[in-house]
Amino acid sequence: MAAVYSYKRELTKSLGITIGSIVVILASTMFVGFDMSARAANIGSLRREIDFRDRAVQSLVLLRTEADRAKAYGDDLDRLLPTEENLFVFRNKIRALAASEKVTLTFTFGTKNEGTADVPSSVNLRMTANGDASALVRFLEGIERSGYFVELSSIEMAYPAKGKGVATAELAGRVFSK
| CATH number, position 100 | 3.30.70.60
For residues 36 and 71, state if they share a domain: yes
Inter-CA distances, 60 with 18, 24, 69, 75, Å: 61, 53, 14, 22
The residue range of the domain holding 103 is 87-177
Last residue of a domain, one of 34, 55, 80: 80
For residues 63 and 91, state if they share a domain: no
Is it the case that residue 96 has pLDDT exceeding 70? yes
- 45 vs 83, residue with greater confidence: 45
Is it the case that residue 80 has pLDDT exceeding 80? no
**Cβ-contact 94, 107 below 8 angstroms:** yes
For residues 104 and 137, state if they share a domain: yes
Residue 2 is predicted with a pLDDT of: 53
